[in-house]
Structure 1
Amino acid sequence: MHRGKGMKFVGDSRVPAPSERKPNIPKDYSEYPGKTEAFWPNFLLKEWMVGAVFLIGFLCLTVAHEPPLEKIADPSDTAYIPLPDWYFLFLYQLLKYTYASGPFNAVGAFIIPGLAFGALLLAPFIDRGPERRPSKRPLATGFMLLAIAGITFLTWQSVATHDWEAAANQGKIVAEVEIDTEAEGYKLLEANNCLSCHGAELTGGGGSPALVDTGLTPEEVSEIAKNGRGSMPAGMFKGTDEELKKLAEYISGLTSK
């Protein structure tokens, strides 16, 4: 068999010749008037302008309403009730309901948020229509309105039902004071389970007031220890009158430097 003999070359009309190939460049945006625009600088400039407006507004809010500061976190304070930032308040409120807390905590923490964010991720695949008007896209518009309504309601409920006074007291910054844990008055507080509410540093927490800088006389402290005040019930102190006197004098003498 001679070299090259019996070989045939077949041309395919579906493959254009190199001279006929055109570069794979999309059409210019000007061919779609009113439907699209140049990314630079038209679209990007609009995005920057909107972002700048929101940033300036946010900075004005932080200046007008200074965010409150709390005391240093104390891991041993089991009475402290944390409050998440405003953008997580709706999830915080969701976990308060019976069907999303306790034995159903996984429902409120994983299943419901997972379905919501899963629907958001699948939105481009579910609603693939070319329409841009909300009235022409009922599925996407309905999901959006439902999400906004749910987040708004849960956030409002969280703000309206939260005990802000107790939150302010538990996170209130108090002056430091040296606590002598070997003092007899401190040991009496420990023996009567006072530290479980007022804290080991006697700075309060969970709605219980601090025992430092109370401004109370020993007689007033004794009266509160026997008869209670506010959320503190009567009869908490179980010691003798002499021990009560020592305890009252100790608390009345606690002052910050």
Structure 2
Amino acid sequence: MAHNDQDKEQDVHFVGDSRVKSNKQRIYPKDYSEFPGKTEAFFPNFLLKEWMVAVVVLVGFLALVMAEEPPLGEQADPTNTGFLPVPDWYFLFLYELLKFKWASGPFVVIGTVLVPSLLFGGLFLVPWLDRGKERRPMKRPITTGIALLSLVGIVVLTWVAEDEHQKQLASQPKGAGEEAKIVDQNDPAYEIYKNNACVNCHGQQLEGLQGPSLRGIGDAYSSEEIIKIMDEGKGTMPAGMFQGTAKEKKQLADWLARQKTGKKPPTEEH
């Protein structure tokens, strides 16, 4: 059976030629501009982008933490009655909230459980509670209003708490709380003091137990006078109570002489 040239051209396939059609379909991302009110898929597209941004922010935050040492307050001291404790700045609004009568005392559960649960629980449930397609704030008055009201409330409560704390500090008498502060706690002489018999009468924090307080002793005595008291005793303190080398005694006396508050304590007894 004879075949013409046209039939031969139709039966011939050129491997690798661009004219050969591929059966494999290419997957193209959806063009969401064709679907008004919808965005890209939450998982994995949107979630992956959020994770990437979160990682960048976390790395930057960790770099700042390592580069700048966080400021720490004074060492905890239960005998310091002049200390005014306040929480960290991001909890100041809750701290101020608990000062209201309707959120403290017998109603403290409102300020400690109910209000924080409504605030943070509402933020957590927003994707399920607000399912509208509109994303412009002006078109979402209820959600936008609640968010702005919460933000203003947090800012105002934080500012009021900080303002009251500063006023409390300013209203304290000059030198209040200073006696509770130990000068140069990292000095090796502090370890000499704690490992000696001194600590039994004067306390770990120089607050005074069976004997008088040593806070501010540098306002009344010099290093040489303190050494003399160690050797000869004073008041109810017998002589020779310090058990250590002469070098350690001098080191301890110099450290105690630096314990100053700017006030002159009575010097009737050591």
5+ residue gaps, structure 1, are 1-26, 187-198, 205-209, 219-228, 238-243, 251-257
State the distance in 2 between where 1:42 and 1:118 align.
22
Q: Deviations over 1:104-145 (max 9, x none)?
A: 322211222233234334434443211111111112111111
Aligned match of 1:117? 120
Contact 2:182–2:215 (Cα < 8 Å) also in 1:
no
Call closer, same or farther: CA 1:93–1:172 in 2, change over 3 Å: farther
Aligned match of 1:48? 52
5+ residue gaps, structure 2, are 1-26, 222-260
Q: CA RMSD in A?
A: 4.5
Matched AA of 1:180: C
Aligned match of 1:30? 30
Aligned match of 1:88? 91
Matched AA of 1:33: S
State the distance in 2 between where 1:78 and 1:215 align.
19
State the distance in 2 between where 1:104 and 1:148 align.
24
1:153 aligns with 2:179: no
Bigger drift between 120-129 and 146-155 goes to 120-129
2:206 corresponds to which of 190, 196, 202: 202
Call closer, same or farther: CA 1:115–1:161 in 2, change over 3 Å: same
1:138 corresponds to which of 138, 141, 160: 141
Call closer, same or farther: CA 1:54–1:173 in 2, change over 3 Å: farther
Call closer, same or farther: CA 1:203–1:61 in 2, change over 3 Å: farther
Call closer, same or farther: CA 1:130–1:168 in 2, change over 3 Å: farther
Call closer, same or farther: CA 1:92–1:59 in 2, change over 3 Å: farther
1:180 aligns with 2:198: yes
Q: Post-superposition shift, 1:216?
A: 0.7
Q: Deviations over 1:71-115 (max 9, x none)?
A: 5545x5584544322222211121123332233322211222233
Contact 1:37–1:43 (Cα < 8 Å) also in 2:
no
Call closer, same or farther: CA 1:146–1:46 in 2, change over 3 Å: same
1:101 corresponds to which of 75, 99, 104: 104
Identity %: 37
Q: Deviations over 1:11-36 (max 9, x none)?
A: xxxxxxxxxxxxxxxx9751423843
Q: Post-superposition shift, 1:171?
A: 7.7
State the distance in 2 between where 1:122 and 1:46 align.
18
State the distance in 2 between where 1:101 and 1:147 align.
20
Q: Normalization by structure 1: what TM-score?
A: 0.51
State the distance in 2 between where 1:55 and 1:173 align.
37
Which structure has the bigger radius of gyration?
Answer: 2
Q: Normalization by structure 2: what TM-score?
A: 0.49
Q: What SS does the aligned partner of 2:134 have?
A: coil
